[in-house]
Structure 1
């Protein structure tokens, strides 16, 4: 595939946070990259704790350096946890980007040839009010195809068990969902 005098490299871009939902998306993205013969680009977006540099609450350069290093460590740990030290049989590059998750992912996956993979996460009513949906943002703004990966059925089972424990309800023994 040629593009303006240089070879275009197919990429599968995936958002990574280390949560179970992002791990499901990361595994799906690795599978898509293998099938397409593409490079896997794992992106972790981070934000400074005090706001942007021009704001009154802006952080100094030392704090930003620490935040950037912490984000890189978190991404490295997430990739190690996802693949368990075993190579995913695809070229993986990790990137940390300063910004909101949706905007950072759309900015990285700017080529129409890219595939952007995002986890849909838990969308409980309270969470929707507190945190906007990254997947929804990406679907609305990405210039490339977006694959939205639903949470694992095991994740839903775990959430149900946690809810029952919080409410002190008895555990219902039945076969797990398949």
Structure 2
């Protein structure tokens, strides 16, 4: 492994983040770096609401859920931890963009993020109320950022979900 090199990747458990996780593992292998998958979480309702009405048992339950999401993401992506690369998963309380750019603080780090969800009603509403994690990372990272587009399989899955015959996609 070269001089503590790290490839830090944002993980949420979505298909987009699993695609980014696979790409980050490839980059870590090529660079002989440590893969650092990061799942950032905040209390349901946000930090402000939690500070107004703290409940330590509930906070612990949310932490446990975040730990389980990380384990599930690694299981779905690799069947456990990826082989051939050192891995140091982190589950951190905080806003995803801030957590990722805070951790990727060395010039030799590589920060890997997915492009996130595609355009849709929920995404438009989210964009109005919340800034993109990807945009935050691009604007604030102190290291290289690799933005991973969705896998081509995502469109096939969307089509299947909408009830489109996959043979129509192949014939097109």
TM range (shorter): 0.7 to 0.9
Asked if residue 123 in structure 1 is aligned to residue 123 in structure 2, the reply is no
Return the alpha-carbon distance in structure 1 between the equivalents of residues 165 and 153 of structure 2: 16
Q: How does 1:24-173 map to 2 (within 5 A)?
A: 24-52=19-47, 57-85=52-80, 87-126=82-121, 127-131=123-127, 132-163=131-162, 165=163, 171=165, 173=167
- Secondary structure at the aligned position of 2:89 is classed as strand
Give me the whole-angstrom Cα distance separating, in 2, the residues matched to 1:8 and 1:128. Answer: 42
TM-score of the aligned structures, taking structure 2 as reference length: 0.86
- After TM superposition, the score normalised by the length of structure 1 is 0.83
Residue in 2 aligned with 1:4? none
Contact conserved, 1:50 with 1:58, CA < 8 A, in 2?
Answer: no
> Structure 2 vs 1, CA of residues 58 and 111 (structure 1 numbering), >3 Å: closer, same or farther?
farther
Separation in 2, partners of 1:121, 1:56: 29
User: After the TM superposition, which parts of structure 1 deviate over 6 Å for at least 4 consecutive aligned residues?
Assistant: none
> Distance in 2 between the 1:52 and 1:122 partners?
24
Equivalent-residue separation in structure 2 for 1:56 and 1:138 (angstroms) = 26
CA distance in 1, matches of 2:36, 2:99: 13
CA distance, structure 2, for counterparts of residue 12 and residue 128 of structure 1: 30
Structure 2 unaligned blocks of 5 or more: none
Q: Secondary structure at the match of 1:123?
A: coil
User: Which has the larger share of helix?
Assistant: 2
Equivalent pairs, count: 167
Q: CA deviation at 1:56?
A: 5.9
Cα distance in 2 for residues equivalent to 1:101 and 1:69: 17
Question: RMSD across aligned C-alpha pairs, in angstroms?
Answer: 2.4
